[in-house]
Amino acid sequence: MQLTGADIVVESLKHEGVELVFGYPGGAALHIYDAFHRQDDVEHILVRHEQGATHAADGFARATGKPGVVLVTSGPGVTNAITGIATAYMDSIPMVVLSGQVMKPLIGYDAFQEIDAVGISRPCVKHNFLIQSVEEIAPTIKKAFHVASTGRPGPVLVDIPKDITAEVTTFVYPESIEMRSYPPVKSAQPSEIVAAVEAILNSSQPIVYTGGGVVLANAQEELRQFVRTLGFPCTNTLMGLGAYPHDDPLFLGMLGMHGTYEANMAMNKADLIIAIGARFDDRITGTLNGFAPDAKVLHVDIDPSVIDKNIMSDIAIVGDAKNVLTMMNQELARRAEDVNHELSRDWWAQIQDWRGLDSLWYEPSDSVIKPQFVVQKLFEATAGQAYVTSDVGQHQMYAAQFYGFSDTHRWINSGGLGTMGFGLPAAMGVKFAHRDADVACVTGEGSIQMCIQELATCKQYDLPIKVINLNNRYLGMVRQWQEFSYEKRYSHSYMDSLPDFVKLAESYGHVGMLIDKPADVEAALKEAFAMQDRLVFMDFITDQTENVYPMIEAGKSHSEMRLRPNGPKPE
């Protein structure tokens, strides 16, 4: 079949099973846009800013496990997409970004809307390609999807010069591709599993600490079996929430900078840390000097470079979390008579003491809306079944702490890069993937304004997302740090001249609601979620002085948590 390069792009996407592409047209991508116009199999979603396209594709990927696909033009199309590409990169999200490039003969001559897309994206992609000929398009797209979605996933950019998209060649989509330099995923050795299980069975103060890797590997069932067989305490990172059910007695909540007292203390006092698909980043460990002084570390990850990077391991297993957990579960079954729950009895007594502190407690109020209260009521209104996206800041931590997740792929946030503006476009991607599910975007008045233009996209494609705006008129997390570490010098953290969010939502064709009394929160949420075909922007006027607790401040260790001043204290 003779096709133009542009048609080959679209045909290749079809062969990859792509149904949705998020994008924004421009000169260098116009041949490809023309090819989109000629067919109905792959739907193109027109966003309002390329950052929105990448976050939407990212949200789609996180909610489905399939790679998100983005199409942008050259120059500013690419530079606007970079923040979203970097967001996906930091959280290991599979994504394929197709970018138009100026015509090949113009490359290097500072042509109109020319940018070195491969160069500018290089530090924040898993890999990227500049297509050199029309024959390369199909095999390169095949490679891009393969690299993006295998091993430790990540974004891959394919830059396509405009003249090449007009050239014609025979289209054959390769069945398979060979990449000698792209390593296959290593699988765990049986001897490693035996050694790991031996250490596990001998531990009296263990903790299972899991991250985004368990979510990406769809290993939640294997994890639950592993934890329940052993009766070990389990904690999830911000990226790993949902892997273990929030209401299970073995679950200690989230760990890290704003993790629970019991999760962080258990990490600090453990004799064995079983880390699975988690990377010991600085928000998890606190200062490395004071990190888990007595713990042996068993580290399981698909990416060998994560092992011994921040924390030296005693036992390391490189492999897919699902495979490794399956192998460990088999070994545990073989050694069932050696599983002794009595061994960790004292440890559990200690953990129950820590848990008794109720470190997430906040002072309820009937005069001012507490942001935590809104998230709790959101959980109730959605029966804990919503897909929840968030932006970045205090509201993100409240959502992580107070919306109990029972399944993976439900909690969708920018953990690694911490990208404000992520929540709303990510929610669009989720809604496209799960039309019948409740999708809530928990945000703040600062973050929401970073991609607010996507309210128009939501209108165009009828995406009845519920925006939960926790509006405290501050960049709350910045304000909190300034309160704690800068003697309350609130430099540029007050959000002045805010729009009237109700009118703003209405001007985009949505429903706006203002809620400023605690007594109205529950009814308002019920009313909003009852409007199944409308996007409802809920502007909750919340307590301006509320802080996120507990907090491990920068440079402190797990045992030095800052607890709520008027809250319960350890004995």
Partner 1 sequence: MRHIISVLLENESGALSRVAGLFSARGYNIDTLTVAPTNDPTLSRLTISTTGDDRRIDQIEKQLGKLVDVVALQDITVNRHLEREVVLVKLIADAQKKADLDRVADAFHAQLIDISESQYIVELSGSNEKVDELLKVLASFQIIEVARSGVTGMTSTERVLKVDNK
Stretch that binds partner 1, among 82-90, 119-127, 333-341, 377-385 (CB under 8 A): 119-127
Q: With respect to partner 1, which residue has the nearer C-beta, 152 or 322?
A: 152
CB 411 within 8 A of CB 405: yes
Residue of 39, 170, 189, 305 that binds partner 1 (CB under 8 A): 305
Select from 19, 34, 167, 303 the one that contacts partner 1 (CB under 8 A): 303
Is 401 labeled as catalytic in the residue annotation?
Answer: no
Minimum distance of partner 1 from residue 147's CB (angstroms):
6
Beta bridge partners of residue 127, listed in sequence order: 156
* Catalytic annotation present for 112: yes
| Nearest residue to 136 (alpha-carbon basis) of 9, 273, 312, 279 | 9
Neighbours of 506 (CB within 10 A): 13
CA angle centred on 430, ends 427 and 431, rounded to 5°: 85
Which of 309, 335, 434, 534 binds partner 1 (CB under 8 A)? It is 309
Among 127, 279, 355, 431, binds partner 1 (CB under 8 A): 127
State which residue, 303 or 483, has the beta carbon closest to partner 1: 303
How many H helices and E strands in the chain?
Answer: 21, 20
Burial class (CB in 10 A: 0-12, 13-18, 19+), 191: exposed
Instruction: Name the minimum Å distance from CB 508 to partner 1.
Output: 40
**Least distance to partner 1 from the beta carbon of 104, Å?**
12
Q: Which two tokens stand for residue 395?
A: 């509201």
Among 33-41, 117-125, 197-205, 487-495, the segment contacting partner 1 (CB under 8 A): 117-125
Spatial distance between the Cα atoms of 84 and 155, rounded to a whole number of angstroms? 10
Residue from the set 41, 248, 294, 308 that interacts with partner 1 by CB under 8 A:
308
Q: Which is nearer to partner 1, 25 or 155 (CB)?
A: 155
Question: Residue 334: in which H helix or E strand, if any?
Answer: helix 321-334
Residues 136-155 that bind partner 1 (CB under 8 A): 147
> Can you tell me which of 14, 37, 122, 526 binds partner 1, judged by CB under 8 A?
122
Which of these segments, 92-100, 303-311, 413-421, 456-464, binds partner 1 (CB under 8 A)? 303-311
CA angle 463, 469, 471 (to 5 degrees): 160
How far apart are the C-alpha atoms of 133 and 161, rounded to whole Å? 9
104 is catalytic: no
Q: Does 118 bind partner 1 (CB under 8 A)?
A: yes
Place of tokens 């970004």: 97
Euclidean distance between CA atoms 525 and 513, whole angstroms:
10
Known catalytic membership, residue 506: no
544 binds partner 1 (CB under 8 A): no
| Residues 358 to 397 in contact with partner 1, rule: CB under 8 A | none
DSSP code string of 475-494: -HHHHHHHHHHSTT--TT-B
Whole-angstrom CA distances from 157 to 17, 32, 71, 167 are 18, 16, 10, 21
**Other C-beta atoms within 10 Å of 19: how many?**
15
Q: Which of 113, 225, 350, 453 is catalytic?
A: 113
Q: Is 498 in the site for partner 1 (CB under 8 A)?
A: no
**Nearer to partner 1 by C-beta: 144 or 521?**
144
**Residue ranges with strand state E in 145-222:** 155-161, 168-170, 206-210
Pick the catalytic residue from 328, 397, 420, 477: 477
In angstroms, the Cα distances linking 457 to 23, 67, 508 are 11, 21, 9
**Amino acid code (one letter) for 269:** K
Residues 157-216 that bind partner 1 (CB under 8 A): 179-183
Nearer to partner 1, 181 or 566 (CB): 181
Catalytic residue among 162, 322, 377, 431: 162
Question: Is 126 a residue that touches partner 1 (CB under 8 A)?
Answer: yes
Q: How far is the CB of 100 from partner 1 (least distance, A)?
A: 18
Q: 105 or 190: whose CB is closer to partner 1?
A: 105
| Residue nearer to partner 1 on the CB measure, 223 or 307 | 307
Determine whether 27 is exposed, middle or buried from the number of CB atoms within 10 Å of its CB (0-12, 13-18, 19+): middle
Among 27, 76, 245, 304, binds partner 1 (CB under 8 A): 304
State yes or no: is 50 an active-site residue: yes
- 237 and 415 Cβ atoms separated by less than 8 Å: yes
- What is the spatial distance between Cα 20 and Cα 23, in angstroms, rounded to a whole number? 10
Q: Could you give the CA distance from residue 479 to residue 394 in angstroms, rounded to a whole number?
A: 10
> Total number of residues binding partner 1 (CB under 8 A)?
19
Residue 213 phi/psi, 5-degree rounding, is -60, -35
Choose the stretch contacting partner 1; rule: CB under 8 A; options: 305-313, 350-358, 373-381, 390-398.
305-313
* Burial zone of 155 (CB within 10 Å; 0-12 exposed, 13-18 middle, 19+ buried): buried
**Piece in contact with partner 1 (CB under 8 A), picked from 31-39, 92-100, 125-133, 450-458:** 125-133
Residue 479 found at the interface with partner 1 (CB under 8 A): no
Which of 39/305 has CB closer to partner 1?
A: 305
Q: Does 123 bind partner 1 (CB under 8 A)?
A: yes
Report which DSSP code applies to 551.
Answer: B
CB of 305 to partner 1, least distance (A): 4
310-329 mask for partner 1 (x: CB under 8 A)?
--x-----------------
Catalytic-role residue among 112, 132, 352, 503 = 112
Q: Cis omega (within 30 of 0) on the bond before 550?
A: yes
Only one of the segments 55-63, 307-315, 448-456, 476-484 lies at the binding site for partner 1 (rule: CB under 8 A); that segment is 307-315
Question: Is residue 466 involved in binding partner 1 (CB under 8 A)?
Answer: no
Q: Which residues are catalytic?
A: 50, 112-113, 162, 477
Positions touching partner 1 (CB under 8 A) are: 118-119, 122-123, 126-127, 130, 147, 179-183, 303-305, 308-309, 312
